[in-house]
Amino acid sequence: MTPAIKIIDLKKSYDDTVALKGINVTINDGSFFGLLGPNGAGKTTTINILTGLVNKDSGHTQVFGMDTEKDYRYTRSKIGISAQEFSQDWFFNLEQLLFFQAGYFGIRKKDAKHKVDELFLRLGLEEKRNSRLRQLSGGMKRRFQIAKALVHDPQIIILDEPTAGVDVELRHELWEYFKELHNDGKTILLTTHYIEEAEKLCDMVSIINNGEVMTKGSPKELMDSQGKSGITIHLSESNTNLKKFLKGFTYTQEDTRLHFTIRDPEGVLPNIIQCLAKAGSHISSIETSRSSLEDVFLSLTGKGINE
Ligand code: ADP
């Protein structure tokens, strides 16, 4: 299947700042893809090249197999982008702005009306239809950005740091909405420096740092590769007879404390509990630990993602 987005050896410098050193990314149609990296990693430059806002130095960017420069109109029409910076359209109300945006993609007002109504409702902006952008709170502006990205019903949605600076409650609401869009079959490219956002939402992640892709994979694969995941179980009494019941598990025992090194703690836990029950042991407490994408970033770069 032709990927939704393909980025091949993409390079870009601004004067003497090398922003992209040869980025390769393939995003399958229907994927929820995360470009995770600290500020200055090159995320916005990458998506600005994809959408024609910034010129590349070399490399290729394709949308559904078409070159984003040669076939700009086609490729741009497939993408809706919620940019990091708020637009500065102070003179028109929100409804007018959404109709203009639809018009930019050749959709007439009467054909856009249904989508516009749906977006105002879904994003909780119905009462603000006739307001100007400057009258909105930060969170509302953020939601409006997203409505603008969706008004021409694009197959690919690019969300550039969509929850930067929003409060926790709105962040969770937006996450739910993004999941719905993904469940509807949309391809989503999310840039973020929030570890939790990438872990919770994305099925594939490229970790980017200093204009380079450091690693890629599903969050689970990447986290499992760190080998820090495990289960610690405390028994109510020591049992020296466990070995034959726990065959096949990698674990250490110190008196009543058992520690299992396991890639998928939640998946294996029921099995372990069963084996311990067969051995006649009672459990007094269980703790599971998982490596995070922060651990992955740390082991690749030697620093935390938001340091
Ligand atoms: P991110 O989105 O990951 O925070 P950016 O793509 O915005 O990263 O930036 C990558 C690098 O390019 C940074 O070092 C940034 O300072 C630099 N940069 C981005 N835009 C410009 C610009 N218009 N002029 C000069 N340098 C820029």
pLDDT band at 278 (very low <50, low <70, confident <90, very high): very high
Domains 5-223 and 229-290 are alike in CATH topology:
no
pLDDT at 175: 95
Give the residues surrounding ligand 1 with Cβ less than 6 Å away: 14, 17, 19, 37, 39-45
Q: How far is CA 284 from CA 233, 238, 256, 272, in A?
A: 8, 11, 9, 14
Q: Is the pLDDT of residue 40 over 90?
A: yes
- Report how far residue 283's alpha carbon sits from residue 296's, in angstroms, rounded to the nearest whole number: 32
Higher pLDDT, 142 or 56: 56
State the average pLDDT over residues 21-44: 97
Determine the average pLDDT of the residues in 159-174: 91
For residues 165 and 32, the model is more confident at 32
pLDDT band at 229; cut points 50, 70, 90: confident
The residue nearest atom 15 of ligand 1, judged by CA position, is 40
How many A from CA of 40 to the centre of ligand 1? 5
Shortest-distance atom of ligand 1 to CA 45: 6
Poorest-confidence range of 36-40, 150-154, 259-263, 296-300? 259-263
pLDDT band at 235 (very low <50, low <70, confident <90, very high): very high
Segments of 15-96 assigned E as strands: 17-27, 32-36, 58-63, 66-67, 79-82
Question: Is the domain defined by 229-290 classed in CATH 3.20.20.60?
Answer: no
Give the pLDDT of residue 26: 98
What mean pLDDT comes out for the span 51-64?
97
Calculate mean pLDDT across residues 218-233.
86
pLDDT at 290: 79
One-character DSSP codes across 111-122: HHHHHHHHHHHH
Task: Give the chain's radius of gyration (CA, Å).
Answer: 24
Mean pLDDT, rounded, of the chain: 93
What is the Å distance from ligand 1's center to 53 Cα?
Answer: 13
Q: What is the pLDDT of residue 37?
A: 94
In the predicted structure, residue 87 carries a pLDDT above the cut 80: no
Domains of the chain, residue spans: 5-223, 229-290
Query: What residue's CA is closest to ligand 1, atom 25?
Result: 14
Q: How far apart are CA 82 and CA 175, in angstroms?
A: 14
Extract the tokens encoding 22. Answer: 């040869």
- Identify whether the C-beta of residue 12 lies closer than 8 Å to the C-beta of residue 49: yes
Tell me how crowded residue 278 is: count the other CB atoms within 10 A of its CB. Answer: 11
| Predicted confidence (pLDDT) at residue 124 exceeds the cutoff of 80 | yes
The C-alpha atoms of residue 163 and residue 46 are separated, in whole angstroms, by 19
pLDDT band at 288 (very low <50, low <70, confident <90, very high): confident
CA of 237 to the centre of ligand 1 (A): 58
| Residue 8 CA to ligand 1 centre (angstroms) | 19
CB count in 10 Å sphere of residue 265: 19
Confidence of residue 151 (pLDDT cuts 50, 70, 90): very high
Share of the chain above pLDDT 90, in %: 77
Question: What is the reported pLDDT for 261?
Answer: 83
CA of 235 to the centre of ligand 1 (A): 53
Nearest CA to ligand 1 atom 26: 14
5 or 306, higher pLDDT? 5
Residue tagged 């694009």 (tokens): 154
- Residue 209 alpha carbon to ligand 1 centre in Å: 12
In this structure, the residue with its CA closest to atom 14 of ligand 1 is 40
Q: Which ligand 1 atom lies nearest to the CA of residue 37?
A: 3
User: What pLDDT is recorded for position 223?
Assistant: 86
pLDDT of residue 271: 95
Which class in CATH covers the domain with range 5-223?
A: alpha beta
pTM of the predicted model as reported, rounded to 2 decimal places: 0.86
Nearest CA to ligand 1 atom 24: 14
pLDDT at 2 over 80: yes
